[in-house]
Amino acid sequence: MSGIDPELIDDCVHCGFCLPACPTYLLWGEEMDSPRGRINLMEQHVGGVPITPEMAGHFDACLGCMACVPVCPSGVRYDLLIEQTRAEVERSYRRPPWERALRTLVFHLFPYPRRLRLLRGPLRLYQHPGLRRRIRPLLPAPVAAMSELVPPIRPRIRLPRVVRARGERRAVVGMLTGCVQDAFFAEVNSATARVLAMEGCDVIIPGAQGCCGALSEHSGRAEEAARFSDRLGEVFTRAGVDAVVVNAAGCGSSLKEGSPLRERAAPLAFHDLTEFLMELGPRAERHPLPLSVAYHDACHLAHAQGITAQPRTLLRQIPGLTLREIPSGQTCCGSAGTYNLFQPDAARELGDLKAANVRSTGVDLLVSGNPGCSLQIASALSRAGVRLPVAHTAQVLDASLRGLSRKALRA
Amino acid sequence: MADRLGELARRFTGLLGSDSVITDPVRLRTYECDGLTVHRTTPGLVVLPTTAEQIAAVVTECVRTRTPYVARGSGTGLSGGALPRGDGVLIVTTRMRRVLEIDVVGRRAVVEPGVTNLAITQAALPHGYYYAPDPSSQQVCSIGGNLAENSGGAHCLKYGFTVNHVLAAEIVTPDGEIVTLDALDPGYDLLGAFVGSEGTLGIATKTTVRLTRLPEKVKTLLAAFESTEAGGRAVSAVIGAGIVPAAIEMMDALAIEAAEASVRCEYPPGAGAVLIVELDGPEEEVAAEYAQVVDLCSEAFEIRIAADDVERAAIWKGRKSAFAAVGRISPAYIVQDGVVPRTALPEVLARIDALSAEYGCRVANVFHAGDGNLHPLVLFDDADPRAGARAEELSGAILDLCVRHGGSITGEHGVGVDKSRYMPRMFSEDDLDAMHRLRCAFDPWNLCNPGKIFPTPRLCGEVPGVRRGVHPLVASGEAELW
Amino acid sequence: MVTADRGLFAALSRVCPDVREATEDDAITGVIPSWTAAPATAAEAAALMRLAAHHDLAVTARGAGTKLDWGNPPRRADLLVDLGNLDGILEHQAGDLVVRVQPGVRLDPLARILAEQGQQLALDDPVGGATVGGTISTAVCGPRRLRYGAPRDLLIGVTTVLADGTITRSGGKVIKNVAGYDLGKLFTGAFGTLGLVVEAVFRLHPLPAACAWLILNPADRATAVSAMRTLLHSQAAPSAIEWDSAQGPPEVAALFEGGAAESRAAALRRSLGDGRTSDRPPPWWGTHPDGTLIEVRFPVGRFSEVLGEIDEAARDHAVAARTRGGFGLLHVGVSEDPADAPDTAAFIMRIRGNLAALGGVVIVRRAAGAVRDRVDVWGPGGAVRLMRRVKERFDPQGLLSPGRLVGGV
């Protein structure tokens, strides 16, 4: 008995409108690496064809960017389908040993902020150019790919448990610190907390949040995902908040989706930072930032949460800032959670395409609402020899609200 | 057969490289159908060439081994025109997607066959030009497929079909030769005959298309009527006034319901029919025509005008997604495509209503009202085994209706494998024989997309009556053999 | 007349009463056939073809005969089928913007009848007096091709009699139709080598509310070409843009159609800073230059280079070349004095050779034998091998105007 719902498969009328939206179809031009083709593979499996290595390969190659979902006129829930399929692959397909080893490594590392933080020391050493030159050839390809993505390691920032609202309090919110965000982009978290506080929110930041479960969920590890999100739900419930602000797209979309397995996170309302700020309405003064910026739509914001207007509006409200659109902006940058770890070649190609499109805008700064995208695009830009800083939406707002100079963002 | 395909696979791997040849059965099956899913055949072999030379080499090998082959672009066709052969090769052009040239001064673009229809427009837009034919699937359908099907679109009422916009095509002929068909060349209009031949006369490998200047002004309005009859009267009045709108499209209540469920197009509630009229051209002409159209839509209970491109897109959104949207209101449905002389529309629509009641199948109507091209969508529940057959019958009865009114069994989706059985209702044996002569001239072995268009298999045989030996005029020196 | 011939004549008269011996007036590029038959119905035409096939008679079709001197002389010509009696307008559904006609209908009277309903068949008749059938077979077009296209773009259905007498139909009576091969395309420009067109269905257009011409007298060729480019790329959407140097100094005229035609033309006059508007075309509009007639087809973007090449070749070969036409299609008129034939031939070969590199095609339309003897009127042609194969399938006995078309087809 397969865990893939045949009725969801049946919704697909094979019109092909999803093809141009799919990044892997864009790369390889093959039916089986398009949403329509993958649904056909699912159909084959539901019809009794066992999962072959080829089949698993095409499912694994899906970024889960969900660009195909909003463009589907028949309303096919590819998001649900691919999640069910990934779980099915995990359940009924035995991967080759090296793949299993890599997966074990990733899933025992990334969802654990403390383990990630332990890596900071060795990584900082690794980032020394001399050492890197010598060590890199010794690393297995996926590990090398991983190591390339790591941003410069900065001093760790410890956030207080509570950040009080400036001026009259308008709301009390929890804040998700995340795994990668916390370990490698701590300044994004501090910017987020400051922006919320300056806009009149008491920000509650419980410790020991752990992972939200998104990484596991998007890789077919539903039970593991449920464990993580249950724990997260408990932590925030205990902290006494009912609304939680999220500044990482992947975490936000996963937490919003909800799932029967994840009961304890369910009563909480999760909001993306930009969505929350737009609903709250601007109060703090925006200081000018004479910058031209391009906003990158993270798939899990744009396609999964439908959030495209809010970050743009927030950016446009900053005096002096001009916003440009990235050509083919709807195409995934190749980061896609763990994708750049498991599918490094495709991820690199997509990263290069994105970097070229970003470059064509000629902006001073790239803004993104997701740490994975920021890592991915920054590394693609540096491969192409382009020096273009990448910042989180929160950081740009923070700079404007605090009246920092544009240089603060161009480091 | 398996041996032959195995040998071909090895050869093609040598010619194209291993990542361009698909032999794995699970992968092959993803190519089992195009946009029409009722016909499915897993291809024997799939190749993904990147050059015309590769296609020529593949075709040559197929001819040598007498293996049938089928070309496929994005696989969005609605008549099974790209249905593969289990004993044959499927040649997929999706990796040939470079826009080779945008020549603004010469108002043309040169593109590879896998380039999507919309990609040409996107490449030309910065220069103030676009590619006029706009099938509803334009963001995904390929220009190679457009050539095969002679694709139209909502705007072909004013601007014509693919055939009116193709200036030249480099093709691989069914005997593996690379030949350019150019509209400038004297003699038979082979280019015109090739376009719309549904992939049976060769494979386009490079196409030169005409680019059209963006109109100075575009005005789009949505008029809501109580009924399709009232909408139809407005269409007649507009055409009768000597106005050729860029597009004039109608949707009936059921089609509106589907579109509403799919894309929330927010058409006026309670409409029995909506009419989308788009006028374009020089500003003064559009302004005058627009005033006339509004007058002529006097029966409409609501008229909306798109104020900008966003609103224009919103008006079109419902129409363009209508086919797939029907999936939201019915478990299964048949997309029909027939044409009647425009003046016969009211009568034909009334008759379709009656047929719908008679067969107990709901029918949603979406149509290009300006040129009488109907797209009745016959809804049924595929859980009921008899419902499918009933829907199929009704769908056929609608085609009969079209033919009886002097129309056609297909306006833009093509005959393919799906409608070949209806061809004798429109054409006599002699007519089909004449068409087959053209096919034999190109493909005497009947290997290039066989089993499409023609209702029964036909053999070409030798060229009948050709003189054997030396022609008397050649012997006498009055003529020479070419 | 020998006995066998008399027998044939009798057989022909039995299937088609209007048959007579041919005269010099029936010559096809100098070749005089034996008989001329004018069928009154498509069935008669079919019977004639069956008879011809049976007796191995070579057949050439004629409409008004205005372009019978175009193309190669047929290798054989026994029977001229004059389609002039098939001149009925069979159906005009104004609401459908469609007309169904017989091939002998002349464009002029047809236009008058359609105009009564405010409609038009938007085809030009540059030679004058042409029939529908002849226009299809020669694929001739004029200035308004820019907006409306060529005959192949307006022909939506065709009924033909094939070489063996079979009557077949393709296309239909509706504008939008993709059922089966569009054989009408094949017959367009076929010069009667595939069959006789006995019925044609065309899409019509509404007559424009008004027409206005913007007429310019540019100082030189460069100014003219630049003005024409501005017109071509303008959003004022002219229906035709033509150039003439056959009358003397170059003149450019552009046609605007629609209620606001005059004001659109005037706006362009102002932005070009030159010219005058008129509700009438200049006298040369839509006609071919006199003399030996050469047709030059080329990609739209090459207009200036093509004009330059023609001028240069004319100078080098001491030919007085008068050009008329526009983007994509120019006609060149040169001297028809037999003494000039060698120069004319050299001129043609030169432009044919040089324009090929620009994607251009040079066809000799009307020329005396002295020129025809020196150059192939058609030039090398395009997909000639495929055309021959089509010809073999449709006319395996090679009876229909054999050799009249490009490549000896």
What CATH number does the domain containing C337 carry?
3.30.70.600
Q: How far from each other are the two terminal CA atoms of chain C, in whole angstroms?
A: 30
| The predicted structure's pLDDT at residue B265 | 87
Q: Are C59 and C74 members of one domain?
A: yes
How far is the C-alpha of B151 from the C-alpha of B146, rounded, in Å? 5
Q: Chain C window 328-387: which residues touch B at a Cβ cutoff of 8 Å?
A: 328, 359-361, 363, 378-379, 381-387
Q: How much is the average pLDDT of B263-288?
A: 94
Chain B residue with Cα closest to C329: B184
Q: Chain C window 227-246: which residues touch B at a Cβ cutoff of 8 Å?
A: 229, 232-237
Residue C79 lies in a domain: yes
CATH code 3.30.43.10 for B2-92: yes
- Chain B CB contacts of C158 under 8 Å are none
CATH code 3.40.50.1860 for A291-409: yes
Q: What is the pLDDT of residues C248-298, one digit of tens each?
A: 889 999 999 999 999 999 999 999 998 999 999 999 999 999 999 999 999
Q: Give the best residue of A9, A10, A13, A353 to mutate against chain B (max B CB count within 10 A).
A: A13
Domain count, chain C: 4
Please answer yes or no on whether B140 and A40 come within 8 Å at the CB atom: no
- Contacts with A95 (C-beta within 8 Å, 6 or more apart), sequence order: A56, A103
Please answer yes or no on whether A17 and B324 come within 8 Å at the CB atom: yes
Q: Are C52 and C139 members of one domain?
A: no
Residue B466 has pLDDT above 60, yes or no: no
- Residue closest to C394 by CA, chosen among C102, C165, C201: C165
Kindly give the pairing relationship between strand A243-246 and strand A171-175.
Answer: parallel
How far is the C-alpha of C276 from the C-alpha of C299, rounded, in Å? 29
Strand blocks (E) in C163-315: 167-171, 195-203, 205-206, 211-216, 240-244, 251-257, 276-278, 292-297
Q: For chain A, which chains pass the contact test of at least 3 CB pairs under 8 Å? A: B
Please answer yes or no on whether B324 and A49 come within 8 Å at the CB atom: no
How far is the C-alpha of C164 from the C-alpha of C261, rounded, in Å? 50
Residue B106 has pLDDT above 60, yes or no: yes
- C271 to chain B, any CB pair closer than 8 A? The answer is no
Same fold flag, A162-280 and A291-409: yes
Q: In terms of residue numbers, what domain contains C35?
A: 6-84+395-408
* SS3 call for C338: helix
Task: Kindly state the greatest CA–CA separation across chain B.
Answer: 80
Which of C76, C96, C393 is closest, CB to CB, to B463?
A: C393
Chain C residue with Cα closest to B127: C233
State the average pLDDT for chain A: 89
DSSP C173: S
- Can you name the CATH fold of B330-418? Alpha-Beta Plaits (3.30.70)
Residue B467 has pLDDT above 70, yes or no: no
Element (H, E) at B78: none
**Residue A184 pLDDT class (50, 70, 90 cuts):** confident
Chain B residue with Cα closest to A18: B140
Domain boundaries, chain B: 2-92, 99-213, 215-329, 330-418, 423-475
Q: What is the pLDDT of residues B149-208, one digit of tens each?
A: 999 988 999 999 999 999 999 999 999 999 999 999 999 999 999 999 999 999 999 999
Look up residue B205 and give its two tokens.
Answer: 């490998």
Look up residue A244 and give its two tokens.
Answer: 């939680």
Q: What is the pLDDT of residues B258-267, one digit of tens each?
A: 999 888 889 9
- Chain B CB contacts of A33 under 8 Å are none
Q: Are C315 and C350 members of one domain?
A: yes
How far is the C-alpha of A321 from the C-alpha of A292, rounded, in Å? 6
Q: Give the best residue of B19, B30, B334 to mutate against chain A (max A CB count within 10 A).
A: B30
Which of B187, B282, B432 is closest, CB to CB, to C387?
A: B187
Distance to chain B for C250, nearest Cα, Å:
22
Residue C155 lies in a domain: yes
* SS3 call for C251: strand
Q: Residue B193: how many CB atoms within 10 A of its CB? A: 28
Q: Within C273-409, where are the H helices?
A: 303-316, 341-356, 369-372, 384-394
- CATH no. for A6-92: 1.10.1060.10
Which one of C251, C278, C305 terminates a domain?
C278
Residue C379 lies in a domain: no
Strand blocks (E) in B154-216: 166-172, 178-182, 203-210, 212-213
How far is the C-alpha of A102 from the C-alpha of A93, rounded, in Å? 16
Which one of C278, C308, C329 terminates a domain?
C278
CATH code 3.40.50.1860 for A162-280: yes
Touching chains A and C? (3+ Cβ pairs < 8 A): no
- C50 to chain B, any CB pair closer than 8 A? The answer is no
CATH class of B99-213: alpha beta
- Contacts with B319 (C-beta within 8 Å, 6 or more apart), sequence order: B136, B154, B249, B251, B259, B276, B366
Query: Where is average pLDDT lowest: A35-49, B267-281, B467-481?
Result: B467-481
Q: What is the pLDDT of residues C100-136, one digit of tens each?
A: 999 999 999 999 999 999 999 999 999 999 999 999 9
Please answer yes or no on whether C177 and B410 come within 8 Å at the CB atom: yes
Q: Give the best residue of A7, A8, A14, A25 to mutate against chain B (max B CB count within 10 A).
A: A14
Chain A residue with Cα closest to B259: A73
**Residue A262 pLDDT class (50, 70, 90 cuts):** low
* A213 close to A228: Cβ distance less than 8 angstroms: yes
- Chain C CB contacts of B428 under 8 Å are 168-169
* C153 close to C144: Cβ distance less than 8 angstroms: no
Q: Which residues pair with C277 in a beta bridge?
A: C214
| The predicted structure's pLDDT at residue A142 | 66
Q: Residue B20: how many CB atoms within 10 A of its CB? A: 19
For residue B331, CA distances in Å to A13, B362, B393 come to 10, 12, 18
Q: What is the pLDDT of residues B310-344, one digit of tens each?
A: 899 989 988 988 887 888 888 889 999 999 999 99
| The predicted structure's pLDDT at residue B295 | 95
Please answer yes or no on whether B323 and A73 come within 8 Å at the CB atom: yes
Touching chains B and C? (3+ Cβ pairs < 8 A): yes
- Chain C CB contacts of B482 under 8 Å are 384, 388, 407-408
Return the half-sphere exposure (C-beta side, CA atoms, 13 A cut-off) of residue B435: 29
- Chain B CB contacts of C46 under 8 Å are none
Residue A148 has pLDDT above 80, yes or no: no
- Chain B CB contacts of A11 under 8 Å are 327
- C-alpha torsion A66→A69→A71→A73, nearest 10: 170
Task: Kindly state the greatest CA–CA separation across chain C.
Answer: 74
For residue C124, CA distances in Å to C68, C106, C141, C156, C243 come to 18, 12, 6, 17, 16
Chain B residue with Cα closest to C161: B434
* A387 close to A341: Cβ distance less than 8 angstroms: no
- Residue closest to C330 by CA, chosen among C375, C281, C365, C373: C365
DSSP C208: P
- Chain A CB contacts of B22 under 8 Å are 30
